[in-house]
A and B are shown apart, each in its own frame.
Chain A
Amino acid sequence: MSNSTSNTPEKEHKSSYRAEERRTLSSGEEEFFFDVKTSDMEVNMGPQHPATHGVMRVLIRCDGELVTGSQVHLGYLHRCAEKIGENVEWLQYLPYTDRYDYLAAMNNNLGYSMAVEALMPGLEIPRRAVLLRTINVELNRIASHLVAYGTYGLDIGAITPFLYAFREREWIQALFEKICGARLTYSYIRIGGVFNDAPPGWLKEVGHFCDVFEEKWKEYRDLLALNHIFIKRTAHVGVIPKDMAIDFGLTGPMLRGSGVDFDLRRDMPYMAYGEAYEAGAFKVPVGSGEKGELGDSWDRFYVRVEEMMESIKLVRWCLGVIEDGPIIGEIPKVIKVPAGEAYVGIENPRGELGHYVHSDGGKVAVRCRVRGPSFTNIAVVEELMPGTLLADSVAIIGSTDIVIGETDR
């Protein structure tokens, strides 16, 4: 791998034992000084590390506990998703989409399906399919944010909230298993609709889940998000100012945590979100700097915690309006997408997941580009880490909520 000097400018840090800071005393002499000749240590937060959320290598140069430079090395989980997209048929590519952001597979399926459907203007997606898609996507958002919540607690040192969060996540995964047979990589949302209707009693169980989760949510918020030690560890840490967030192309909770009020579900609506927002079904939580500075790690974390609640409200709204009907549009068995190019971006739990598809009218795509939000979001870490302590780097990386499958594709 490449040379380990960082290319980001070193933030100034004061150290009082460097020869360059030798002072001249009032008597005119130079201060007697014993230069201990310390040098910066390079630590490898290696591909295997409990806190890097996957296989990612972060080279950290530090002066004791103070980080002076950092460099992120990716590619350990690169599985050539885009190249595969050019070699398999349209529907065969769907399971590959599950696997980049494996914590929010429904969202990936939706993004890809919507991009392909943008090339098929005559295709109409039935109402029930739209609502089922929305319900499942929001449940998956809750599941993904539960992982973000639990693992961020783990990174900071609180081990118990992780287990509590996974209780609810297991329930969501059981719901998904009932509807499509898989717990993690669903391939449920297909081109034209969804592939399986909700089994009898499923919608009722989702409603029951919403009721139970609302109470648990208050517990989770009080246990971790409002815990004093947690706030001390995450407030004022990794502050991303508004203009820096926009310049780096951040999206999702990273952007909203810095105070930018933008959510694709509300501002560029797709599926049932426009209708839901008109009906007042959900709000968009935005960071407000209440515990520290605007744009710090606590803000980003709290945006995710609040988004879980908003997703519950959305699911409830969808349950209220859903009716019986077909679940998939008129799609041939072997899909031949009309020639054209389209880009569709949707709101993943991590940010904007974009799919660009280019078809030449055949069975296989010409180009299938995936714009993963984690890839863009992690770039800001190299800028944030210098000047913080080593324990803070873990807090910063955890607050970006990346999934390496999406970073590397």
Chain B
Amino acid sequence: MELQAIHDTLKAAGVAGLLGCDEPRPANKKEKDPGRAGMPFLLVDPAEIVPLLTACRDEPRLQFDLLIDLTASDPAADGDDLWVLIQLLSLKYRHRLAIKAHLPKSALSIASATAVYRAANWHERECSEMFGITFEGHPDPRKILLPDDWKGFPLRKDYEFPTEYHGISCE
């Protein structure tokens, strides 16, 4: 299914928070548009993420039963944006859905998707330790890859590398 069709199906199912489709477009010199390559994304409102994911999973024409990836991206060091990226896969219809949700760095909180997909459990743990996002309702918000006493959020662009850790120099 194409992204626009998925978007329309979700809208028809009464899902709120759909903010549009981010489709790739070729460069347009006249409008000074550098264009965007790659794959389409569905833009959503982070407040409505859980009903959206539930609809994606349960809607008979969509049936996105596998949560493939849940991560985040920090595009610019001086910007205020953090994007949560979710990849879904349907085994039956063999289509993918890529979702992007924007979070301002001042309010990094989003509902946890563990209630919908148990696969989200570990992905959200990694995302929260790397970016500092709080996943509300997560059953086990511990650090997963980093040591428990690590300070800072490494995958953010404004992360400062520590100079030492427990007496070991990190130069």
Taking Cβ atoms with an 8 Å cutoff, the residues of A that contact B are 1-2, 7, 74-75, 78, 80, 82-83, 86, 118-121, 246-251, 260, 262, 267-268, 337-343, 345, 352, 354, 356, 358-361, 366-367, 369, 371, 375-376, 379, 408-409
Contact = CB atoms under 8 A, between A and B. Distances in A.
Nearest to A246: B65
B140 interface: yes
Interface stretch (B8-16, B43-51, B67-75): B67-75
A356 B37 contact: no
Interface centre among A250, A341, A376 (most CB of B within 10 A): A341
Contacts of A260: 91
Contacts of B41: 341
Contacts of B71: 356, 369, 371
Lowest 8 A-B CB distances belong to which pairs? A249-B119, A340-B37, A340-B38, A342-B38, A75-B145, A367-B73, A371-B69, A338-B37
B147 interface: yes
B69 A369 contact: yes
Interface in B112-160: 117-123, 126, 130, 139-140, 142-148, 154-155, 157
Contacts of A360: 75
A379 B145 CA distance: 13
B152 to A, nearest CB: 12
Contacts of B122: 375-376, 379
Contact of A262 (B37, B67, B68, B91): B91
Interface residues of B, number: 46
A248 B146 contact: no
A176 B89 CA distance: 33
B54 to A, nearest CB: 13
Given A340-B36, A345-B68, A249 B75 contact: no
A300 B55 CA distance: 31
B38 A341 contact: yes
How would you classify the secondary structure of chain B's contact residues: helix, strand, loop or mixed? loop
B104 interface: no
Contacts of A262: 91
How would you classify the secondary structure of chain A's contact residues: helix, strand, loop or mixed? loop
Interface of B: 24, 27, 34-39, 41, 65-69, 71, 73-75, 85, 87, 89, 91, 94, 96, 98, 117-123, 126, 130, 139-140, 142-148, 154-155, 157
Given A251-B66, A408-B145, 12 more contacts: A75-B144, A247-B119, A249-B117, A262-B91, A268-B96, A339-B35, A339-B37, A340-B38, A352-B89, A369-B85, A376-B123, A379-B119
B65 A119 contact: no
Contacts of B147: 1, 75
A356 B36 contact: no
Contact of B91 (A246, A340, A408): A246
Contact of A343 (B35, B69, B123): B69
A248 B67 CA distance: 8
Contact of B144 (A74, A251, A371): A74
